[in-house]
Chain A
């Protein structure tokens, strides 16, 4: 890009952080030392990042395994039976037309239930990662069945090799509709998929040329789906069999040839490592902490499982800088509550509430997924989080299954013990003295049914609880 001879740095007032500073203020991460010093806090942190949080019983169970054992259990999830598998996936036919809207709600509720019930926390967390990374949106795809298949594909390959995942997603019906590969034809290549494949999914801007985009689009020509079954097929008449020069190599590549070149590219490991590290540990990592994750990628033949292992077992993952360094997405916020409090809701109203919080599952705003981080928090989305909590604690008696059970029988009990139990379960027992005092002063000496509800609201509404 040519120079335009401009630029001034972003305005900063010395000594203060910008609103959009991610994670800890510079030099202040020492406040997160609680993570380095306490095993229970490490387990809480691990299950928040490599999962969606857990109830007291589960936290205790993982604590007994120790940190290394807990990581092992999370990674080898196929050894754990998953009750989430008993939740029947919805069945959709292709060509739903006007019924798409209801179908999407059904699809969202199914996945939310899975995430809530799963005993394989890392598996569902990685499905969620891939959904936000190799993303597709129902508004363009228009076929809930294809979106469901994509979600199942991510589940079957959540920790597989990147090579397998990319070759699979390049054949995925939802993806091919979403990024227009179904209209990518020999005479007029459509560059949409080829471009995003490199720009967003694998290499990042600056590591390929416009010519690479054009050549790889040719390699994917004719890759399409059978309109009746939604299955992958190659339309040989539309496939450009000629030689292509891509990332410096010349050959008669098809889509798999393009993926083969991409996964071996020196930019692929660092790019994915950085993305995964930011998702699991903390934003804007230094190259030194990303490097071992990238090394694991190349050394293991592009294994996602080995990359995740490298992150979860790193010092950086349990460092001060990682503690509460991520803003919870609406999915993480809601599932964190559901799982910690052991709720079994039907999730009927949840997709609606999530719209207001800025996240619609199966409908990311762009091929780049959800930008996340501080972007999750603005006046509107914050208010919707608080209002969700209001509805949660004021649930009608007939919806008792979604009523937090820890509220039952609390009337007349000492408020202080209740506050400390909640802060222990939901905030690692770690809030400022001022916040604890404000909660105690609100709760009074002994609980009433109303004050118990409001204390739950307040603890889940704290600034600390918005962070993972």
Chain B
């Protein structure tokens, strides 16, 4: 007889007794639990991944204003010196990032310069895929965080061990053995049924039965069964504690702000969230870049400041690490449409109570270019490796397949 997906998920170790092959990483997870973890490898630390979709222009985000080539390449798009929020005497933040500057001043913000990867791909889709499965040579459908879930959290019973804000699950969170809930908004996140809200009806019970009994030999069986069960469990759990959440700050009234507020709720209610994902878009600025990027960076910065302050007030700031990423930066030289075309390396922000604020990595050269684009100085997998090892308590090689030098931001 075959065991059902749910039974399997509920008892990760059961697979040993029914004689399935156990990938070595499972054994690793067990030994790692017994290993002496670093100071921050505790169980309840949370990673929040913020995707800046579209390819953010890194040069106008963390601005190398002291480099004369910046002005030559950006005659119209360059940010005026007096508007730049200076961080020391070499670089400064875009004025739209004023809210992030506060976090920098508090020592909670790290910037990693020139992050990219070898053989850069200028396609949004391919480059996003590379960042999300952390594997430039394969287009596998499992994400880097999905591999971490599979290797280390397969037996974790929390339905919200991972959560995505939005309608679609990003590749980075796609796991082979777990279905991570995607929540577009709290309001609609429940299964409507006849009768009183909150009471499970016979109809809903029958619906779930149609999914748990869907033969495992049918198409999309694992996905459909786990999604239905996951939807039921996660909505029940989320609705339970949702009415009484009081944010300690006012969140910006943007979809990004609202999404972050929901994440703060999941994190502070101790629903077991280890990885959260949220995206903010509009960075593909081929034309009319100045106002568009300014507005997008403001949405990002004001959202993250509110989120951090809220977590801080709730005593959770030291349990949360926030990482931004974008699939690529943009061409060094501006184009004729007051915009910039697809490029390569760009900076990443790391934010959190345990972050060692400062600048990491090496500044990419603005003159030694590859087809008009920056040569990366830090491989993004070094950033992942750092987070996996120092924050998520993993052996980075298990997830990344190879070793990458850790950075010092945690």
Q: Footprint of B on A, CB under 8 Å?
A: 1-25, 28, 31-32, 180, 183, 185, 187-188, 190-192, 195, 199-200, 205, 210, 324-325, 327, 355-358, 365-368, 371, 374-375, 377-384, 386-387, 390-391, 394, 432, 434-435, 438-439, 441-442, 450, 454, 457-458, 461-464, 466-467
CB distance from A453 to the nearest CB of B (A): 9
CA distance A168 to B168 in the complex (A): 32
Main secondary structure of the interface of A (DSSP, over half): loop
| Residues of B113-159 whose CB lies within 8 A of A | 117-119, 121-126, 135-138, 140-142, 147, 150-151
Binds A, one of B31-39, B175-183, B241-249, B306-314: B175-183
Q: Are B188 and A384 in contact (CB under 8 A)?
A: yes
Q: Is B230 an interface residue (CB 8 A)?
A: yes
Q: Is the CB of A4 within 8 A of B118?
A: yes
Query: Given the complex of chains A and B, what is the CA–CA distance between A236 and B29 in angstroms?
Result: 65
Closest to A32 in B: B219
User: With contacts A14-B21, A188-B336, A458-B210 known, is A383 near B235, CB below 8 A?
Assistant: yes
- A380 engages B176 (CB within 8 Å): no
Task: Kindly identify which residue among A2, A458, A463 contacts B118, using a CB–CB cutoff of 8 Å.
Answer: A2
Chain B positions within 8 Å of A442 at CB level: 202-203, 206
Cα(A467)–Cα(B221), bound, Å: 11
Q: Check B167–A377 contact: CB distance below 8 A.
A: no
Which of B104-112, B189-197, B266-274 is near enough to bind chain A?
A: B189-197
Q: How far does the Cβ of A330 sit from chain B's closest Cβ, in whole Å?
A: 10
B403 to chain A, nearest CB (A): 9
How far apart are A123's CB and chain B's nearest CB, in angstroms? 28
Question: Which of A13, A18, A435 contacts B213, CB < 8 Å?
Answer: A435
> A281 to chain B: closest CB distance in Å?
13
Which 4 pairs between the two chains have the least Cβ-Cβ distance?
A: A188-B336, A1-B119, A183-B337, A379-B231
Please tell me if the beta carbons of A383 and B191 are within 8 angstroms of each other in the complex: yes
Do B193 and A188 touch across chains, with their CB atoms under 8 A apart?
Answer: no
B203, A458: Cβ atoms closer than 8 Å: yes
B residues in contact with A462, CB < 8 Å = 210
Which A residues touch B7, using CB under 8 A? none
Q: Which residues of the other chain, B, contact A3 by a CB distance below 8 angstroms?
A: 137
Question: Contacts A20-B176, A190-B286, A378-B227 given; 5 further ones with Cβ under 8 A?
Answer: A2-B118, A13-B15, A13-B23, A17-B222, A464-B214
Report which of A6, A12, A371 forms a contact with B400, defined as CB distance below 8 A. Answer: A6
Tell me whether A380 and B182 are in contact (CB under 8 A). yes
Q: How far is the CB of A379 from chain B (nearest CB, A)?
A: 4
Q: Is the CB of A438 within 8 A of B209?
A: yes
> Which B161-218 residues have C-beta < 8 A from chain A?
164, 166-169, 174-184, 188-194, 202-203, 206-207, 209-211, 213-218
With contacts A188-B335, A191-B341 taken as known, whether A386 is within 8 angstroms of B210 at the C-beta atoms is no
Could you list 30 examples of A-B contacts with CB < 8 Å? A1-B119, A1-B121, A1-B136, A6-B135, A11-B23, A11-B177, A12-B176, A13-B21, A13-B23, A14-B21, A17-B221, A21-B220, A180-B287, A180-B339, A183-B286, A183-B287, A192-B286, A195-B123, A365-B168, A377-B227, A378-B169, A378-B227, A379-B234, A383-B190, A390-B192, A438-B206, A439-B210, A441-B206, A463-B210, A463-B228
**Residue of A6, A190, A324, A458 touching B341 (CB-CB under 8 A):** A190
- Other-chain contact of A368, B23, B125, B150 (Cβ < 8 Å): B125
CA distance A465 to B181 in the complex (A): 21
Chain B: CB-nearest residue to A213? B122
Is there contact, CB below 8 Å, between B206 and A185? Answer: no
Complex interface: chain A residues within 8 A of B225 (CB): 463
- Whether the Cβ atoms of A457 and B203 lie closer than 8 Å is yes
Known contacts A23-B219, A458-B206, A458-B207; A387 and B191 CB within 8 A of each other: yes
B88 at interface, CB cutoff 8 A: no
Residues of A within 8 A of B138 (CB): 7
* Min CB–CB distance B19 → chain A (angstroms): 10
With A435-B210, A442-B202 as known contacts, state yes or no: A327 contacts B220, CB within 8 Å.
yes
Closest to B128 in A: A366
Chain B residues with CB under 8 Å of A10's CB are: 140-142, 147, 176
- B17 shortest CB reach to chain A, Å: 14
Report if B41 contacts A (CB, 8 A). no
Residue contact B213 to A19, C-beta cutoff 8 Å: no
How many angstroms from the CA of A247 to the CA of B166 in the assembled complex? 40
- What is the CB-to-nearest-CB distance from B322 to chain A, in angstroms, rounded to a whole number? 22
Chain B proximity of A190: nearest CB distance (Å) = 6
On whether A13 and B20 interact (CB within 8 A), knowing A19-B174, A21-B220, A390-B192, the answer reads yes
B406 within 8 A of A: no
A28 touches B217 (CB 8 A): yes
Of A15, A31, A378, the residue contacting B218 (CB under 8 A) is A31
| Given the contacts A205-B126, A387-B188, A461-B207, A467 and B219 also touching, CB distance less than 8 Å | yes
Q: Judging by beta carbons under 8 Å apart, are B336 and A6 in contact?
A: no
B291 sits at the interface (CB 8 A): no
Q: How far is the CA of A439 from the CA of B122 in the complex (A)?
A: 51
- Find out whether the CB atom of B188 lies under 8 angstroms from the CB atom of A6: no
Q: How far does the Cβ of A20 sit from chain B's closest Cβ, in whole Å? A: 5
Contacts of A457 in B (CB 8 A): 203, 207
CB pair A324 B219 closer than 8 Å: yes
Report how far A13 CA is from B21 CA in the complex, Å. 7
A15 CA / B23 CA spacing, docked (Å): 13
A101 to chain B, nearest CB (A): 15
Q: Closest Cβ of chain A: how far from B358's Cβ, in Å? A: 28
Question: Which B residues lie within 8 Å of A195 (CB)?
Answer: 122-123, 342
Known: A1-B136, A13-B176, A356-B167. A6 touches B402 (CB 8 A): yes
Chain A contacts for B220, CB-based, 8 A? 21-23, 327, 374, 377, 463, 466-467
Chain B residues lying within 8 Å of A31, measured Cβ to Cβ, are 215, 217-218
Separation of A461 and B203 alpha carbons in the complex (Å): 11
What's the Cα separation between A439 and B206 when bound, in Å?
7
By the criterion CB–CB under 8 Å, are A380 and B191 in contact? no
CB distance from A105 to the nearest CB of B (A): 18
A73 to B192, CA, bound (A): 41
B326-364 residues at the A interface, CB under 8 angstroms:
335-337, 339, 341-342
**B242 shortest CB reach to chain A, Å:** 15
Interface contact A187-B336, CB-CB below 8 Å: yes
Q: B63 contacts the other chain (Cβ, under 8 Å)? A: no
- A14 to chain B: which residues have CB within 8 Å? 20-21
B226 within 8 A of A: yes
Interface residue? B280 (CB, 8 A): no
- Nearest Cβ in chain B — how far from A27, in angstroms? 9
- Are B137 and A7 in contact, with the CB atoms below 8 A? yes
From A18, A384, A464, contact of B222 by CB (8 A): A18
Check B175–A19 contact: CB distance below 8 A.
Answer: yes
